[in-house]
């Protein structure tokens, strides 16, 4: 397997894509709205892609956070509240908020598993601050490290209860960014001690999770030249060292404008910096080929981390779907009422 998670162009696998998958054997796929037409079509696409690769242990990812970031929307998926809805409940009843967040994640996991999707790029553990770009905004589970960690863990464990792998993101933190890394390279000049106390803390609390996604953000206190995703210093000293994350580390999307250089150069850079896997999302076959050519086979410690993550796709624990739907409706109603009162 190749140290690459790749997107696909459309709702069906083209002959050229099938040949690419068979030849390069990426360790994962990621689905976007362009790939989603019906439940039967999604299941067929996942089966066809896995058959082309020739392995059942390939990860199939999606961004299904809720709120602004959910690829499966009605009628294909449920309406889901943003993380901020749980943050509001947590301010009044922390125990109830965590139980509700875990219940929603368990329900989403069941929906994803039914489609052949086994990995959700959530929860967001970023800690927003006043004046930051709103790219995180209501995707955050609160404004304190403890609250973000508590709700983030509830969500991650809800996914795991359903046999779906969570991806904590964007390690070591995107909350202070004053730019959207899809469009530009954010630079954070906060002192290291403050970052450690705040931004890094939720990731440290969830360092036992199987998967994490890096941030395309420069932290000048640690590396003035490179974003975290391409910085060996950030990976070694902060992500693996100070935070202590031991799972499979993937980059954020290589095609985001925060990065510079060719796609091949970007792919090589994230691997050289210590990511186990490069992530390329846009489904452009020429770029997929360039990324695949620039990354190695998944081997050694990186392979160990991959298979350790796969092993955590345990058989889903039983749950009461009707009760979970009722709880989700409660959160949606509460969120709508709060929005109307503003």
Supply the residues annotated as catalytic: 182, 252
Residues 6+ apart with CB under 8 A from 285: 9, 16, 17, 20
CA dihedral 99, 102, 107, 113 (to 10 degrees): -160
Cβ-contact 59, 308 below 8 angstroms:
no
Q: Residue written as tokens 């250089």?
A: 261
Determine how many CB atoms are found less than 10 A away from the CB of residue 40: 9
Q: Residue written as tokens 């943050």?
A: 87
Residues 6+ apart with CB under 8 A from 258: 179, 181, 182, 183, 184, 185, 186, 216, 217, 227
Question: In 3-state terms, the chain is what percent helix, strand and coil (to 5)?
Answer: 45, 15, 40
Q: How far apart are CA 342 and CA 339, in angstroms?
A: 5
Q: How far apart are CA 131 and CA 271, in angstroms?
A: 32
């Amino acid at each position: 397997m190749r140290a690459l998670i790749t997107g696909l162009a459309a709702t069906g696998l083209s002959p050229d894509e099938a040949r690419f998958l068979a030849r390069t054997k990426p360790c994962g796929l990621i689905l976007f709205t362009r790939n989603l037409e019906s439940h039967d079509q999604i299941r067929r696409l996942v089966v066809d892609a896995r058959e082309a690769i020739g392995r059942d242990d390939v990860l199939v990812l999606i961004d299904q956070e809720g709120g602004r970031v959910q690829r499966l929307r009605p009628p294909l998926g449920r309406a889901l509240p943003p993380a901020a809805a749980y943050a509001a409940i947590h301010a009044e009843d922390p125990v109830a908020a965590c139980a509700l967040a875990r219940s929603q994640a368990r329900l989403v996991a069941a929906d994803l598993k039914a489609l052949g999707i086994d990995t959700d790029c959530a929860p967001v553990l970023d800690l927003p601050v006043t004046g930051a770009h709103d790219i995180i905004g209501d995707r955050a589970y609160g404004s304190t490290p403890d609250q973000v960690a508590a709700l983030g863990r509830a969500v991650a464990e809800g996914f795991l209860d359903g046999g779906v792998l969570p991806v904590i993101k964007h390690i070591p933190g995107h909350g202070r960014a004053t730019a959207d890394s899809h469009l530009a390279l954010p630079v954070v000049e906060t002192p290291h001690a403050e970052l450690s106390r705040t931004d890094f803390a939720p990731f440290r609390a969830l360092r036992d999770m199987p998967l994490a996604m890096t941030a395309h953000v420069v932290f000048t206190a640690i590396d003035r030249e490179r974003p975290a995703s391409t910085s060996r210093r950030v990976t070694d000293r902060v992500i693996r060292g100070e935070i202590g994350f031991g799972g499979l580390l993937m980059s954020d999307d290589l095609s985001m404008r925060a990065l510079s250089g060719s796609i091949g150069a970007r792919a090589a850079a994230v691997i050289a910096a210590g990511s186990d896997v490069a992530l390329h999302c846009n489904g452009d076959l020429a770029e997929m080929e360039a990324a695949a050519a620039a990354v190695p086979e998944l081997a050694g410690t990186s392979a160990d981390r991959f298979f350790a993550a796969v092993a955590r796709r345990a058989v889903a624990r039983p749950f009461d779907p009707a009760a979970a739907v009722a709880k989700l409706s409660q959160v949606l109603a509460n969120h709508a009422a709060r929005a109307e009162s503003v």
